[in-house]
Each structure stands twice: as structure tokens, then as C-alpha cells.
Amino acid sequence: MSRQLSTSLIHARQAAAPTYEASQPGVFRASTLYFADSAEWRAWKAAPHARPAYGTSGTPTTMALEQRIAGVEGASHAVLCPSGMSAIALVYQVALLPGDELLVPVNVYPSNRQFVLHELMRRGVLVRTYDPTDLATLEFSEHTRLVWAEIPAALTFEMPDLPALCARAHAHGALVALDTTWSAGVACAGFDFDIDFAVQSLSKFAAGTSEVIMGAVATKDAVLDEALRIGRRRHGLNVSPMDAATVIAGLQTLPLRYRTQDASARHLCAFLAGQPEIAQVLHPALESCPGHEYWRRDCRAAAGLLSVVLRPDIHAAWCDRFIDGLQLFRIGFGWGGSTSLVMPYDVDEVARLDDTPGQLLRLAIGLEEVGDLQADLAGAFAAARGA
């Protein structure tokens, strides 16, 4: 039967999957997947997990990334989510029911805190905060279901004693979720610790190019993995295979980028500590940083992130002159890319565990030459002082 062009173009059959290999798995894009015949359709109805039937189950590209993230975290399973925040929300969704209790660090990542305050508490989850540098503040009850943890704290970099935290949580029958965005599997893997969920924003180090928003939850437990997959499908959380391919490419250079940024950040910590306007440099490799001994014990590297606390008499106007005097550091939130970033936080925006007053500046070190970054900082100090 001869067919019209539109029909023959639509029904052109695809060659079988190629057997050659390339450095990238390729991008497989699909919403609908076909069943070859009614026997295959009926077989799928009898065992729906045996094969994907629709794009919401993922595609070969997203599944390839899930496997890699599971490997990065020392887990056996991982599910991708459209952002780090949606990965955090999915863990809460899977782990908590009304009446359950959740323990979160008092200085938890700000957007996580917003989710807990505005989404979980009004749905009947009881939330208690704890000081990650003092595990005696963990208040368990028979209803405690989940302990959230971060290594290290998001803006102030205190390191908790994670093995002790996990032991206590499990002794009370609670699950442990760890935000691994900072460690990214390089400083340590999530499952170096006895946790239940490793939650990572892939928007940061894994993608590494500041052009993708994505997150992942990794587990070692098939039952939790199944619950995450069902929850993800019911919420309709999906990831573009194009973005997944970008992250897969990013992972190939992740350790190199991470270690370069680590070395530059530590070099700049020393420079910044010598500046008179700076009261304190916060970075877990510094002995003065709370939990430094746990960082030394548990981590092989540190992310290229640090904060400085300005002397209390240094005001916002000085800070703005300093920031505007920078040429290489851009003002922005989403660290982990090639470009160095700076972000000021007002005193009352940051939950500080100590009561040192003073504005905080968070620096994310990119991949520029460290000497150029130091010269840029020195130029900004001169500009801020000269006014």
C-alpha cells in the first residue's frame, strides 16, 4: 500500500538500538513507549514493574544517571527529581504521616526550613529542632520517625558527629536523611554513614555548569526505593533526559572540579583570615570551625565554599562597596559551577549557633586561577576601604 508522505514519515521504523559505544549514553526522549502487540500489553498489565510503559517511569538516559548517582553515594538505588528541593519534599512525603515527629537542625538549609514550617507543620507533623554540634539536644519520642541531617551546615559549615547521630536515631527507631549536596560523593559518600536516604541537589556540583536544576534521593533499601518511586510517579515528578545527559557529562569531571575548588578555597581562607574587617572565617578544614574533628575523621576533601563573618562595626554599606568592587566573583546563589560567587546575608537571616554578631558573606569558589581570585578580593578590600 502506498502511503502519503505525512504517514510514512510518522511511521518510519527505528533501527534496533546501536551496539557501538560513546563516552555519553545518548539522549533518549519519550513520553509514550509502544507495546509490540497485545500479548506484550497483557504481560505488562500482569507485571507493571517489569518494563517502563510511559515516560513518567524514566527513560534509558535518566536511568543511566540514577545508576551513576547510586554509585556516587555508595547506595544501591537512586531516583531523580526535578530539583534538590523536590527530592527533599519527596523524602518527607515518603517518611512522614500526620502525628509523626521530625527532628531538623536548627540551622537547616533555608528552603528546607521553609518547607518544614509551611508545608509539614500545618499537615500535622510535629517538628523539633536540634543543635547539630550538640547531639544531647536531639529530643526523641516514640513518635520520632525521621531525623534530618546535613554535612556540614549550609551557610556556617559546622560538622555534626554523624555516626553518633545515626546510632541514636536508629536506636529510637527513626530513619535518617542526609543532605549530601556539599559532599557530592567526593568529600564522602552518603552511605559512608549508616543513613537511610542521601538527598543531593545535582544543580550544584554534579551538573557543575550552573545550567541545570535537578535533585536525587539515593537509598540502600529496596522497600524505601519502591516507596520513593511510587511517590515520585503519583506526584508526577519528572526530569528531562536532555538535562540528565548534561549531568552525566558533568559527573565525568566532578572529582577534578571539586578538588580544584577545594584547594583554591583553602588558599583563600588563609588570605581572608588576615584581613582586619573579618572577624571569622567559616570552613570545616579550619580548626576553629565547630566539628572540625569530625570533618577530619569523616571527610577526604571539602567543597569550595566558605563564609566570612564581618566585624560587628562593619556595616552593610561597606559590604556593598566590597561586593561591587569584585570583578570576578558574581553575585548569585547556585554554587558548584565554574564562576566564583559571593552572597551577603544579613545578621538576622542566618541561624547562627554562636551569638557572634556581624554580617556574613558566603563565597563559592569557581574554577578561575586562584591568584586571580585573590587579586580580585584584594582589589575589592581596597575599593571598600578607600571610600
Ligand X SMILES: *Cc1c(COP(=O)(O)O)cnc(C)c1O
- H, E, C per residue of 59-101: CHHHHHHHHHHHHHCCCCEEEEECCHHHHHHHHHHHHCCCCCE
Q: Which of residues 86-115 bind ligand X (CB under 6 A)?
A: 109, 111
- Out of 62, 201, 210, 261, name the contact with ligand X by CB under 6 A: 201
For the bound state, the minimum distance from the C-beta of residue 348 to ligand X, rounded and expressed in Å, comes to 21
Considering the complex, state which of residue 84 and residue 241 has its C-beta at the smaller distance from ligand X. 84
204 near ligand X, judged by CB under 6 A: yes
Stretch that binds ligand X, among 41-49, 77-85, 184-192, 266-274 (CB under 6 A): 77-85
For the bound state, the minimum distance from the C-beta of residue 88 to ligand X, rounded and expressed in Å, comes to 6
Residue 175: name the closest of 215, 220, 114, 130 by CA. 220
From CA 299, how far away is CA 361, in angstroms rounded? 24
From CA 285, how far away is CA 296, in angstroms rounded? 7
Considering the complex, state which of residue 84 and residue 304 has its C-beta at the smaller distance from ligand X. 84
Applying CB under 6 A, the site for ligand X has a residue count of 13
From CA 290, how far away is CA 296, in angstroms rounded? 12
Q: Phi/psi at 162 (nearest 5 deg)? A: -65, -45
For the bound state, the minimum distance from the C-beta of residue 85 to ligand X, rounded and expressed in Å, comes to 4
Residue 309: name the closest of 326, 288, 338, 294 by CA. 288
From CA 175, how far away is CA 195, in angstroms rounded? 7
Give strand pairing partners of 144: 101
For the bound state, the minimum distance from the C-beta of residue 314 to ligand X, rounded and expressed in Å, comes to 26
254 near ligand X, judged by CB under 6 A: no
For the bound state, the minimum distance from the C-beta of residue 3 to ligand X, rounded and expressed in Å, comes to 46
- Out of 160, 215, 290, 291, name the contact with ligand X by CB under 6 A: 215
From CA 152, how far away is CA 296, in angstroms rounded? 12
Q: Which of residues 160-179 bind ligand X (CB under 6 A)?
A: 179
User: What are the cell numbers at 385?
Assistant: 576601604
Considering the complex, state which of residue 138 and residue 213 has its C-beta at the smaller distance from ligand X. 213
Q: How many CB atoms lie within 10 A of CB 363?
A: 25
Considering the complex, state which of residue 201 and residue 280 has its C-beta at the smaller distance from ligand X. 201
Considering the complex, state which of residue 250 and residue 325 has its C-beta at the smaller distance from ligand X. 250
Stretch that binds ligand X, among 36-44, 83-91, 279-287, 375-383 (CB under 6 A): 83-91
For the bound state, the minimum distance from the C-beta of residue 347 to ligand X, rounded and expressed in Å, comes to 21
For the bound state, the minimum distance from the C-beta of residue 336 to ligand X, rounded and expressed in Å, comes to 8
288 with 356: CB under 8 angstroms? no
61 near ligand X, judged by CB under 6 A: no
From CA 281, how far away is CA 48, in angstroms rounded? 54
CA separation, residue 108 to residues 65, 95, 155 (Å): 27, 18, 9
Considering the complex, state which of residue 56 and residue 111 has its C-beta at the smaller distance from ligand X. 111
From CA 283, how far away is CA 304, in angstroms rounded? 9
336 with 204: CB under 8 angstroms? yes
> Cβ-closest residue to ligand X?
84
Stretch that binds ligand X, among 3-11, 134-142, 198-206, 267-275 (CB under 6 A): 198-206
Considering the complex, state which of residue 109 and residue 157 has its C-beta at the smaller distance from ligand X. 109
Considering the complex, state which of residue 105 and residue 241 has its C-beta at the smaller distance from ligand X. 105
Binding site for ligand X (CB under 6 A): 83-85, 109, 111, 154, 179, 181, 201, 203-204, 213, 215
